[in-house]
Amino acid sequence: MGQQDRRPGAGFGTRAIRAASAPPRLEQAPNAVPIYQAATFSAGDIGELGDILGDRQRGYAYSRIDNPTAAAMAEAVAHLEGAEAGFALGSGMAAIHAAVASLVGAGDRIVSTHAVYGSTRTLFARVLGRFGVQTEFVDPTDREAVEVELARGARVLYLETISNPTIVVSDLPALVELAHRHDARVVVDNTFASPYLCRPIEHGADLVVESATKWLGGHSDVVCGVVCGSRELIAGVRELQVDVGAIAAPFSAFLVLRGIQTLHVRMDRHSQTALALARFLEGQDGVERVFYPGLGSHPQALVAQRLLRAGGGMLAVDLCERRAAQVFLDALSIPIRTASLGAVHTICVHPPSTTHRQFGDAELAASGIPAGLVRISVGLEDAEDLIADVAAALDEARSAVPAHTS
Ligand SMILES: Cc1ncc(COP(=O)(O)O)c(C=O)c1O
């Protein structure tokens, strides 16, 4: 069927459907990936359709299985991650679920880290837990503790390159070596770093997941995810998704493709401004600690220097008390107060009451998340404006909670 196939002798309905659903035939290639907003693709004949659905022939049949815009996005991210293949999903959580569920079954164990993203913890402990998968959460900087859990038998070691929200940097080569020695696959959430700062596959990770909602998309206007890895492992992810169906929408994939084209420029600027802000915050009255991988004071500063191209846009600051964090957040005028990260706007949040609200007090303490923690995703506003705004908000926090002034 094509533009010419307008069936002049047919009735209005037949002609309307044919005429209005025929894609244009182009002699020139567009300079942006088109949004293939189609649920179905017609094969030449029924045999070909069977071959495509049966994976004996490459092609498109149904967008829950494969869609050209989503595939183009997954391929682009896989290329930047240094992976053989990728698969696009509807969100970062869908990507994490797809990656891990493609590797584990009832009776298997996952070893993960204390300070993972709150929903990841819930997915592992509560959702996968209901299906007989057990997860141990350990300190990723304590190699002995990681090894003890791996030695008890684990299918997956699950890490975040830079952890949410305490900005712990995982020593990927060392942890991958440990995991592989104990026959565990390594899945790494690279969302905080993005492939511009770090490529976990190059350090031996088996699967890498990205919430493309964050730095890849970059503009707070899309929710999307992607998993990358070897052709074999991505085939497993795709096979699972054929039946789960948590696939990326074509328009979402298009927005991520557009974002990726400026990722390098944005990440350089996010990193520069974040470093300036981290340096300003360090040593201010009322600031107990600044968590930023680009600071010499960061506990994994040397690991960060080895693994990250720059410090990135994520930092966290401990303002000692929950109330001080709340006053500080409410006093800010430039950043937006919301739960996400990785955007042109600076985004500030109080993890214990938002992104990590799933953690009880004991889990917060075990994960090293202080009650007064503020997480800052540094945007592209002018650094001087941001620092002045943060300085004024700190003043308010100090006046409102004088006890926390050191
Ligand atoms: C580190 C990390 N991974 C994954 C996710 C989940 O991403 P999404 O919201 O796209 O599902 C988030 C969300 O904030 C995150 O911070």
Measure Cα distances from 221 to 48, 212, 258, 345, 365 in Å. 38, 11, 12, 12, 33
Atom of ligand 1 nearest to the CA of 160: 1
> Is residue 130 over pLDDT 50?
yes
- 98 Cβ closer than 6 Å to some ligand 1 atom: no
Contact 391, 397 (CB under 8 A): no
**Per-residue pLDDT band at 6 (split at 50, 70, 90):** low
> Can you tell me the distance from the alpha carbon of 386 to that of 372, in angstroms, rounded to the nearest whole number?
20
Topology (CATH) of 68-260: Aspartate Aminotransferase; domain 2 (3.40.640)
Gap between the Cα atoms of 133 and 110, Å rounded: 7
Residue 287, token pair as written in the block: 């600031």
Q: Is residue 45 over pLDDT 90?
A: yes
pLDDT of the residue at 364: 87
- Closest among 258, 200, 189 to 225, alpha carbons compared: 189
| Nearest protein Cα to ligand 1, atom 16 | 117
Provide the token pair at 96: 């994490």
Torsion, Cα 175 178 183 185, to 10 degrees, reads: 0
Q: Which atom of ligand 1 is nearest to the CA of 355?
A: 14
Q: What tokens were used for 396?
A: 């308010």
- List 169's β-bridge partners, or say none: 162
Contact 251, 35 (CB under 8 A): yes
Q: Which CATH superfamily is domain 263-404 in?
A: Aspartate Aminotransferase, domain 1 (3.90.1150.10)
Which pLDDT does position 1 carry in this prediction? Answer: 43
Integer CA distances (angstroms), 78 to 36, 241, 256, in order: 20, 18, 13
Residues 6+ apart with CB under 8 A from 285: 394, 398, 405, 406
Q: How far is CA 374 from CA 167, 326, 395, in A?
A: 12, 9, 15
Ligand 1 within 6 A of CB of 223: yes
Q: Which of 77, 93, 113 to mutate to test the pocket of ligand 1 (most atoms within 8 A of CB)?
A: 93
Residue 194 Cβ inside 6 Å of ligand 1? The answer reads no
> Is residue 2 pLDDT above 70, yes or no?
no
β-strand pairing of 314-318 with 373-377: antiparallel
Confidence at residue 117, expressed as pLDDT on a 0 to 100 scale: 93
Among protein residues, the one whose CA lies closest to atom 10 of ligand 1: 92
Mutate which of 117, 168, 341 for ligand 1 pocket (most atoms within 8 A of beta carbon): 117
Tokens of 153: 């038998």
The Cα–Cα gap between 263 and 91 comes to 19
Q: What is the pTM of this model?
A: 0.96
pLDDT in the model for residue 403: 63
Q: Where are the domains of the chain?
A: 68-260, 263-404
CA atoms within 13 A on the CB side of 242: 11
Q: What is the pLDDT of residues 246-282, one digit of tens each?
A: 999 999 999 999 999 999 999 999 999 999 999 999 9
118 lines ligand 1 (CB under 6 A): no
With CA atoms as reference, report the closest residue to 374 among 354, 350, 356. 350
